[in-house]
Amino acid sequence: MARATEIMPHSCTRKKEKMTRDTEFDNDLIHEKRRIARKRRRNRLIAFYLLALLLIVSISFNAMLYYEKIRQQAQIDELTVERDELIADMNSNYITNEAANQLVVEAINNAEQGKSDEGRQKLKDEILEMFEQGDGVLTILENVYAEKIVVPDSSGYYFFDVDETLAKHDLDPECFEYPVVNEETGEAEGDVDYVGDGVTVKKGIDVSKFQGDIDWEKVKKDGMEFAFIRCGYRGYETGKIVEDEKFEDNIKACNEIGIDAGVYFFTEAKSVAEGKEEADFVIDLLEEYEVDIQLPIVIDVEQSSNPSKSRTKNLTPEERTDIVIAFCERVKEAGYEPMIYGNLKSHMRMTDIYKLEVYRKWFAYYRTPLRYPYKFDIWQYTSAGSVNGIKGEVDINLMFER
């Protein structure tokens, strides 16, 4: 009994120690649970904020995409309206080949119905005479609609009114001399010339690698007083600028024997920057070869030989006009005189004739009589000329100096 009494205090102590340890364990467990709970709440809060941030970024990004899409659509709508207006304007002056043929038939019918009217009968006789001579629909349309500028295209014709606000050339139609068809041989005899007062007329050629090796002494003796030499071109597919392989020989020969020379570059630029690049190429080439030119530096603006593959096929007239202006202004900055070469389509459809009025023009038109009212300085009247010293056909031009 006494021993039990002696042991009891130790037992109580152990129980108290155990209870203390249990209490501390419970407290640690509670603290750990609280710590884990706080960590979970913090993680959930972080996750919430991250999700909220991602949601805000996503909403902002989608909103930007939405408004950018709206802006782009607005631009597309605006361009579509401009395109439709342009097409409508073009179509108002455009007829297909089939419609053109019908116009000729109607003109003949109208003349037939008006036999008592000398004017109508004369028109009918003229149309029938043109058919007998083998003239095409274009020539007939030009005669029937003499007050219009008729521009042929691959699938039809465009008609333009003569704009009285644009400068006109001062050449007298009565002073032109044209080849005459020999009734016995059926061959054209003579050449194109102009004999008007107050105008000095010079005859010249334009050449490139396609004319091969040229005997320039013979060319000069054959009466050619000037020449435009192709210095280069830009590839219509590659966009690469290439020097004409005969340029150096041709330009130096002209300098040596005293033929006034100018140079031309066939453009396929599709931006203002490329237009300036082409001008710089020409200027650098003249400096590199240390040659002189007495005539302008010309930008040749024509549809490429393969329009469907041309890198410039989608240019608008406004874009092409800006490119031409960039070329011409860069040429002027270098101290040379710029000039623009082109045909009816170049001037009337491919560029803005109003914005380019300040520059000199070289006009290509291969039919006679000349039917073009606006101002020009050089007329390229044939691409099938014959000149001593050149094998094969060559372009021949008349230059009008006042």
Decide if pLDDT at 202 tops 80. Answer: yes
User: What is the pLDDT at residue 121?
Assistant: 65
The two three-digit tokens of residue 157, written as one number: 């014709």
What gap in Å lies between CA 200 and CA 401, rounded to an integer? 5
Domain extent, residue 53, equals 16-92
* 107-133 average pLDDT score: 60
* 291-300 average pLDDT score: 98
Neighbours of 358 (CB within 10 A): 10
Question: Of 41, 66, 92, which closes a domain?
Answer: 92
Residue 247 shares a structural domain with residue 104: no
What gap in Å lies between CA 255 and CA 286, rounded to an integer? 12
The reported pTM is 0.73
The two three-digit tokens of residue 304, written as one number: 């490429």
In a domain, residue 170? The reply is no
What gap in Å lies between CA 337 and CA 175, rounded to an integer? 29
User: What is the pLDDT at residue 90?
Assistant: 43
User: What is the pLDDT at residue 88?
Assistant: 44
pLDDT digits (tens, 9 = 90+) for 304-324: 989 999 999 999 999 999 999
Question: Of 38, 67, 92, which closes a domain?
Answer: 92
H/E segment holding residue 67: helix 2-92
What gap in Å lies between CA 345 and CA 368, rounded to an integer? 17
Residue type, 318: E
In a domain, residue 173? The reply is no
Residue 39 shares a structural domain with residue 141: no
pLDDT digits (tens, 9 = 90+) for 69-81: 787 777 656 555 5
pLDDT digits (tens, 9 = 90+) for 128-175: 666 555 567 788 788 778 899 999 888 788 999 999 999 999 999 999
User: What is the pLDDT at residue 276?
Assistant: 98
Under DSSP, the state recorded for 208 is -
Residue 225 shares a structural domain with residue 266: yes
In degrees rounded to 5, what are phi and psi of residue 88? Answer: -60, -40
What gap in Å lies between CA 384 and CA 389, rounded to an integer? 15
Which segment of 80-89, 219-228, 290-299 scores lowest on mean pLDDT?
80-89
User: What is the pLDDT at residue 253?
Assistant: 98
Mean of the per-residue pLDDT values of the chain? 86
Strands, E, within 70-191: which ranges?
A: 94-96, 148-152, 156-161, 176-177, 180-181, 188-189
Decide if pLDDT at 98 tops 80. Answer: no
Q: Say which residues have a Cβ less than 8 Å from residue 206's Cβ, sequence separation at least 6.
A: 227, 228, 229, 230, 264, 380, 394, 395, 397
Largest CA distance in the chain: 166
Greater confidence (346 vs 57) lies with 346
User: What is the pLDDT at residue 39?
Assistant: 79
User: What is the pLDDT at residue 194?
Assistant: 97
Decide if pLDDT at 260 tops 80. Answer: yes
What gap in Å lies between CA 371 and CA 359, rounded to an integer? 20
Q: Say which residues have a Cβ less than 8 Å from residue 81's Cβ, sequence separation at least 6.
A: none
Verify cis geometry, omega within 30 degrees of 0, for the bond prior to 173: no
In a domain, residue 177? The reply is no
Radius of gyration, CA atoms only, the chain: 41
Residue 188 shares a structural domain with residue 288: yes
Decide if pLDDT at 386 tops 50. Answer: yes
Residue 142 shares a structural domain with residue 268: no
* 15-43 average pLDDT score: 73
- The count of domains in the chain is 3
